Structure 1
């Protein structure tokens, strides 16, 4: 089902910020997060204003909130020129990211979870290889060398088990599918997003799996990550949906291959067997 964006607000007094030349768009997907949204946006805003030397935007992507989240988001957008709000009529992190990324004019598209569990010191290592053209996507990883993670044994076991299943079943090489800290070049997003079917938590895994199949370059950044004790993720239902998504990708691999082949050609990721004529 196609869900239209019902609202797009932004600050009135743009000042030095010119939306026509946005380099980085940081999307924060939210659903019923009124208690933490303002503080999180201000934290990200302060970091970007102090340390990011190019024009940026923060997009609050609200998907079906029923509390005061939208009211807080609108107030921030009315006060801060770098903040805008997009509103979707139904819930889904994948849906929010698809809509926000698909309608953004920025060169680099990123997202982070509103709880800011990932230390923001990793943001610039995340976007730098995309700005230089070295990579197509970049992900924060809690499971690669150099990362530092503080969380309970249960969540640690579930995370490692899930990523082990991905490596064994889908033969992927990325280490951490679900860390809520990712970035992508806008031209890559425009080509890749129409192939991603999931609108919920499996969106990240499907996006990365299709990117690998298209031979796109995925850069991994070790992160410092601190578990949010107030996390709204329902582990059992998320795990069920993830496993169903894995099964769907296993069954649909051959069906998607022609589209991925076209994507490889469009983005210049041909392998030797495809780019060199057979003698």
Structure 2
């Protein structure tokens, strides 16, 4: 039956015009495991993978016979090549090979082949079809089957919990050595990734997520390699250092996340519904509730000492400044000092509109009441006016103040 979907046509075009997938195997002193790994992978791809492929052995500064084994395999097996780097580092090896590859999809896997190769096509298929931009194998999702010791299990789950708390990661497994990325996306993200070692994967994934890219996850069958040479403690410390560095870069705005989101972010799911609107509404609503409660509390405290209008002015001004700062950072993802003064100036103009609504409600209460207005009625009127001002604030924040961050 002929392929009629746009995804199928795109996949066929990719297969005809360029190498569909380049699988990189980064190695350092793997003279024993390298040959059986490459032969097994080559046999699997030749027999089962429906698109064109290349296997690239990326030797990073091996001092044993790994370079000789890689060269022999490249000479013997079609669509296998060997690349030699004089500096150590898995991240450095991946960046070098991926940056120079002409394939449509760039993948990598560890030389121990701990992950079942049956997961390879499900990993890259959404990238070839255009459905997703990044794909990862995950050992922590429902449906995964994993065999490994309790120490590694504890470290892996703890690390991913730290990522969720410190960097807001929404992907489930940052460390599984089974990942792929579309080449056009890699060309934009790789220059921003600083790590050259084991944190490379995590840094790339966090930047991709912040840019609004879709990260496809594939539950995998995974068997721990008891002969793994990874220094778990040293790697964990380096990863924690990387988390701190990346968190600072995101907080200070050194990473051009807004530009990436604008250039690489997905199109709206439906006409007239902007990308990210749902998440922004949830975050804005949470901040709005907190700001309203703080406003009412501050107003009630000030009302014991000053008249209603001055109390309203002070309470609204203080909470409006805090509201703008929180929405700038949390709702719209704008970090760093660049543009902050302008954003707060625009926020004060929006504050003036909110002040007009709340002050107007107090003035209306005074005009309608023949005597003193009960405090509860004052607070109820101010709450209603503040909710209207909050809705207006969201619309103006999104369409005016933080329009470039959408």
TM-score, normalization by structure 2: 0.62
Distance 2:154 2:109 in 1: 22
How far is 1:267 from its partner? Answer: 1.5
How far is 1:91 from its partner? Answer: 0.7
Say if 2:14 is the partner of 1:31: no
Cα 1:143/1:263, change in 2 over 3 Å? same
Say if 2:243 is the partner of 1:229: no
4+ residue runs over 3 A deviation: 254-258, 268-274, 276-279
- Show the counterpart of 2:215: 218
Match of 2:68 among 68, 71, 74: 71
Say if 2:187 is the partner of 1:190: yes
Unaligned runs of 5+ in 1: 1-17
- Show the counterpart of 1:5: none
- Show the counterpart of 1:259: 256
Residue correspondence of structure 1 range 1-279 to structure 2 within 5 A: 21-256=18-253, 259-269=256-266, 271-272=276-277, 277-278=399-400
Distance 2:228 2:171 in 1: 24
Give the structure with the larger strand fraction: 1
Distance 2:161 2:43 in 1: 37
**Alpha carbons 1:141, 1:220 under 8 Å: kept:** yes
The number of aligned residues is 261
Give the structure with the larger helix fraction: 2
Distance 1:258 1:169 in 2: 16
Distance 2:194 2:263 in 1: 21
Higher mean C-alpha deviation, range 209-218 or range 248-257: 248-257
SS in 2 for 1:117: coil
SS in 2 for 1:29: strand
**Alpha carbons 2:212, 2:264 under 8 Å: kept:** no
1:102-142 Cα shifts (integer Å, max 9, x gaps): 00000000000000000111001000110111100000000
**Which protein, 1 or 2, shows the higher relative CO under an 8 Å CA cutoff with sep ≥ 6?**
1
Distance 1:195 1:109 in 2: 17
**Alpha carbons 2:211, 2:265 under 8 Å: kept:** no
SS in 2 for 1:43: helix
How far is 1:255 from its partner? Answer: 3.7
How far is 1:268 from its partner? Answer: 3.6
Distance 2:98 2:16 in 1: 15
SS in 2 for 1:175: coil
Distance 1:145 1:93 in 2: 28
- Show the counterpart of 2:324: none
SS in 2 for 1:178: coil
SS in 1 for 2:217: strand
How far is 1:254 from its partner? Answer: 3.2
1:245-271 Cα shifts (integer Å, max 9, x gaps): 011111111344661211111124454
How far is 1:163 from its partner? Answer: 0.5
Unaligned runs of 5+ in 2: 1-14, 267-274, 281-331, 333-397
Structure 1 or 2, whichever has the larger Rg, is 2
Distance 2:254 2:116 in 1: 36
1:43-95 Cα shifts (integer Å, max 9, x gaps): 11011101112211000000000000000000011111210111111110000
TM-score, normalization by structure 1: 0.90
Distance 1:157 1:217 in 2: 27
